[in-house]
């Protein structure tokens, strides 16, 4: 089994005449959470229909496809996974038949005991069509004998460990479920009286729905013929909301875990400037788009000019085939172009949200220096990424993480060929996010402190014993 580490977005709506079209729009706003496949399942009170394909939301769906997705309820999913498992079989929503009829499920997150559960289910004769841990959740729901779907889901929640924000659809019900730690976001809104759930509130904004609240950690929210119900069968042992959602993954216009992401990112930049100033800086430039709010905050705090020294092309797909060898660094050149007049003869501070392997940063430093910058200083609006995520953010193994490989800031600056490198401190990050010590958040990628034990490790980039 390989490649179950997914970054994803989910959406759901119940009791609206334009469910499929609204699902399509809702997924559009979540496209940043996954670009490899997209799918929508709808239900009309009788049955569940499903359409999913590899590709972007706009390419997967068209008017003819949406017409076939009849019904007044819909759930949808966008998925990104690493190369090997990029197959339609792993695309979501996943659908099957269970004792109660058709059921479809879409999942954001990663289970930490997926291999154990899968082996148990296989031993009991379950058949799997995919290598995705989302199918395990679907099978667990289907396999439990309980009087109601809510009871089945509650039973599944006692077995599944790790991160899951889910939407589930049956012929007449839509459910939204969040793991008791609340790793991944999931919000509830309303459109023309119909309940809407989405990974991020930007999705609600696009369709014109109003934001109501988060689906709570450990909550099962159900919308069905009998109205709406909510239960919390599992109390939260420890809240572990993913701080990397706020640093990088979510869109700045979203409210995530009750906070406006743009505000937090700007404040990360301000805090970074307090901790890691470059007093002789001439200009602060972001690595667009993800570094932009932090760069604005950094520049404001130091009272230095902010400028767009790098322009991002928004038309670079993940499937672009890089010409071998002939043009070095082609990948980053396709995505980012330098603006020489901003850079020439200047002391430049480049602000990005994170460094993972360091390959992008190194190419950016090169690019900025080759356009005449006198000094190039990298400033990162998160702490050094030293540990892989097992809860749904795609990170490589420790040996590929530059901050885990190299001991000191000087060594990292050396490898990046930057004049200096500075990161936000863990304390500074928590001060911005929660005004304190990080209670209620997962910061394992920075600290190695994993809130849920990782029982079954698997790396999307290498084998099971790659010494993560
Ligand atoms: P690198 O250091 O070359 O591995 O890449 C760092 C860049 O990747 C930064 O600009 C980040 O914004 C971005 N990044 C960080 N985490 C992720 C992730 N999980 N998926 C995709 N891009 C990411």
Q: What does the mean pLDDT of the chain come to? A: 92
Which CATH topology does 8-240 take? 3.60.20
Per-residue pLDDT at 327 exceeds 60:
no
Tell which one of 246, 248, 385, 395 to mutate to probe ligand 1, the residue whose CB is within 8 A of the most ligand atoms. Answer: 248
pLDDT in the model for residue 386: 97
Angle between helices 426-434 and 261-275 (to 10 degrees): 140
Tell how far the Cα of 465 is from the centroid of ligand 1, in angstroms: 24
267 lines ligand 1 (CB under 6 A): no
Q: How far is CA 275 from CA 33, 269, 408, in A?
A: 30, 10, 17
Tell how far the Cα of 356 is from the centroid of ligand 1, in angstroms: 6
Per-residue pLDDT tens over the stretch 57-93: 999 999 999 999 999 999 999 998 654 467 899 999 9
pLDDT in the model for residue 82: 52
Non-local CB neighbours of 412 within 8 Å, separated by 6+ positions:
355, 358, 384, 402, 403, 406, 421
Q: Where are the domains of the chain?
A: 8-240, 259-312+328-447
Ligand 1 atom closest to the Cα of residue 362 is 3
Question: What percentage of the chain carries pLDDT values higher than 70?
Answer: 92
CATH of domain 259-312+328-447: 3.40.50.2020
* Confidence band of 394 (pLDDT split at 50, 70, 90): confident
Non-local CB neighbours of 157 within 8 Å, separated by 6+ positions:
177, 179, 180, 218, 220, 233, 234
- How far from each other are the two terminal CA atoms of the chain, in whole angstroms? 18
Per-residue pLDDT at 320 exceeds 60:
no
**What is the arithmetic mean of pLDDT over 45-66?**
96
**What is the arithmetic mean of pLDDT over 286-304?**
97
Per-residue pLDDT tens over the stretch 205-247: 999 999 999 999 999 999 999 999 999 999 888 999 999 999 9
Three-state secondary structure along the chain?
CCCCCCEEEEEEEECCCCHHHHHHHHHHCCHHHCCCEEEEEEECCCCEEEEEEECCHHHHCCHHHHHHCCCCEEEEEEEECCHHHCCHHHCCCEEEEECCEEEEEEEECCECCHHHHHHHHHHCCCCCCCCCHHHHHHHHHHHCCCCCHHHHHHHHHHHCCECCEEEEEECCCEEEEECCCCCCCCEEEEECCEEEEECCHHHHHHHCCEEEEECCCCCEEEEECCEEEEECCCCCCCCCEEHHHHHHHCCCCCEECCEEHHHHHHHHHHHHHHHCCCCCCCEEEECCCCCHHHHHHHHHHHCCCECCCEEECCCCCCCCCCCCCCCCCHHHHHHEEECHHHHCCCEEEEEECCCCCCHHHHHHHHHHHHCCCCEEEEEECCCCCCCCCCCCCCCCCHHHCHHHHCCCHHHHHHHHCCCEEEECCHHHHHHHHHCCCCCCEECHHHHCCCCCCCCCCCCCCCCCCCCC
362 lines ligand 1 (CB under 6 A): no
Contact 196, 189 (CB under 8 A): yes
Per-residue pLDDT at 409 exceeds 90:
yes
Range of weakest confidence among 115-129, 277-291, 330-344, 452-466: 452-466
Tell how far the Cα of 331 is from the centroid of ligand 1, in angstroms: 13
Q: Give the β-pairing of 420-423 and 259-260.
A: unpaired
203 lines ligand 1 (CB under 6 A): no
Euclidean distance between CA atoms 146 and 327, whole angstroms: 60
Tell which one of 242, 354, 415 to mutate to probe ligand 1, the residue whose CB is within 8 A of the most ligand atoms. Answer: 354
355 lines ligand 1 (CB under 6 A): yes
Ligand 1 atom closest to the Cα of residue 355 is 2
Q: What is the CA radius of gyration of the chain?
A: 22
Euclidean distance between CA atoms 179 and 215, whole angstroms: 10
* Confidence band of 468 (pLDDT split at 50, 70, 90): very low
- Identify which of 250, 253, 247, 249 has the alpha carbon closest to the alpha carbon of residue 265: 247
Tell how far the Cα of 130 is from the centroid of ligand 1, in angstroms: 27
Tell how far the Cα of 251 is from the centroid of ligand 1, in angstroms: 15
Active site annotation includes 389: no
pLDDT in the model for residue 123: 95
245 lines ligand 1 (CB under 6 A): no
Non-local CB neighbours of 195 within 8 Å, separated by 6+ positions:
13, 14, 15, 174, 188, 189, 221, 223, 228
- CB count within 10 Å of CB 191 equals 18
Contact 218, 239 (CB under 8 A): no
Range of weakest confidence among 43-52, 118-127, 324-333, 444-453: 324-333
359 lines ligand 1 (CB under 6 A): yes
- Identify which of 118, 54, 45 has the alpha carbon closest to the alpha carbon of residue 83: 54
pLDDT in the model for residue 188: 98
Per-residue pLDDT at 326 exceeds 70:
no
Contact 402, 354 (CB under 8 A): no
Question: What percentage of the chain carries pLDDT values higher than 90?
Answer: 84
Show the CA angle centred on residue 66, arms to residues 61 and 70, nearest 5°.
Answer: 150
Show the CA angle centred on residue 346, arms to residues 344 and 351, nearest 5°.
Answer: 105
pLDDT in the model for residue 464: 33
Phi, psi angle pair for 51, to nearest 5°? -135, 130
pLDDT in the model for residue 3: 41
**Half-sphere exposure in the Cβ direction for 394 (13 Å, CA):** 16
Q: How far is CA 437 from CA 42, 55, 383, 442, in A?
A: 43, 41, 14, 12
Per-residue pLDDT tens over the stretch 429-463: 999 999 988 899 999 999 999 999 998 875 444 33
**What is the arithmetic mean of pLDDT over 128-141?**
92
Question: Rounded to the nearest 10 degrees, how much is the dihedral formed by the CA atoms of 364, 33, 241, 297?
Answer: 40
**What is the arithmetic mean of pLDDT over 88-112?**
95
Euclidean distance between CA atoms 285 and 317, whole angstroms: 24
Q: Do domains 8-240 and 259-312+328-447 have the same CATH topology?
A: no
**Half-sphere exposure in the Cβ direction for 197 (13 Å, CA):** 33
Report which protein residue has its CA nearest ligand 1's atom 21.
394
């Amino acid at each position: 089994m390989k490649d179950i580490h997914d970054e994803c977005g989910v959406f759901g709506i119940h009791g609206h005449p334009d469910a499929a079209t609204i699902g399509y729009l809702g997924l559009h706003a979540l496209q940043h959470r996954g670009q490899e496949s997209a799918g929508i399942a709808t239900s009309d009170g009788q049955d569940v229909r499903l359409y999913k394909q590899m590709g972007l939301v706009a390419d997967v769906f068209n008017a003819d496809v949406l017409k076939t997705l009849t019904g007044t309820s819909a759930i949808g999913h966008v998925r990104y996974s690493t190369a090997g498992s990029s197959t339609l079989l792993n695309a979501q929503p996943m659908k099957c038949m269970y004792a109660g009829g058709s059921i479809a499920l879409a999942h954001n997150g990663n289970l930490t005991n997926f291999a154990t559960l899968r082996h148990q289910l296989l031993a009991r004769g379950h058949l799997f069509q995919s290598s995705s841990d989302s199918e395990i959740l679907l099978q667990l729901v289907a396999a439990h004998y309980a009087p109601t779907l809510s009871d089945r889901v509650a039973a599944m929640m006692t077995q599944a460990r790790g991160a899951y924000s889910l939407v589930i659809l049956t012929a007449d019900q839509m459910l939204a479920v969040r793991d008791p730690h609340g790793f991944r976001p999931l919000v509830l809104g309303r459109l023309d009286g119909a309940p809407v759930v989405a990974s991020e509130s930007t999705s609600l904004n696009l369709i014109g729905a109003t934001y109501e609240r988060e689906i709570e950690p450990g909550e099962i929210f159900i919308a069905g013929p009998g109205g709406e119900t909510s239960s919390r069968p599992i109390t939260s042992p420890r809240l572990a909301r993913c701080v990397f959602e706020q640093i990088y993954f979510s869109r700045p216009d979203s409210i995530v875990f009750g906070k406006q992401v743009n505000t937090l990112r700007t404040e990360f930049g301000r805090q970074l400037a307090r901790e890691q100033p470059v007093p002789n800086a001439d200009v602060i430039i972001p690595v667009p788009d993800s570094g932009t709010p932090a760069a604005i905050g950094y520049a404001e705090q130091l009272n230095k000019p902010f400028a767009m020294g790098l322009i991002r092309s928004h038309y670079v797909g993940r499937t672009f085939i890089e010409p071998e060898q002939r043009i070095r660094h082609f990948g980053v050149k396709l995505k980012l172009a330098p603006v020489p007049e901003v850079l020439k003869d200047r002391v430049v501070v480049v602000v990005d949200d994170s460094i993972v392997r360091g390959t992008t940063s190194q190419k950016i430093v090169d690019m900025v220096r080759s356009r005449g910058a006198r000094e190039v200083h990298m400033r990162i609006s998160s702490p050094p990424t030293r540990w892989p995520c097992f809860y749904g953010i795609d990170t490589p193994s420790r040996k590929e993480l530059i901050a885990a490989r190299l001991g000191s800031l000087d060594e990292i600056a050396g490898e990046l060929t930057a004049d200096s490198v500075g990161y936000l401190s863990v304390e500074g990050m928590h001060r911005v996010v929660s005004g304190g010590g990080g209670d209620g958040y997962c910061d394992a990628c920075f600290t190695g402190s994993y809130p849920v034990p990782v029982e079954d490790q698997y790396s999307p980039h290498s084998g099971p014993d790659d010494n993560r």
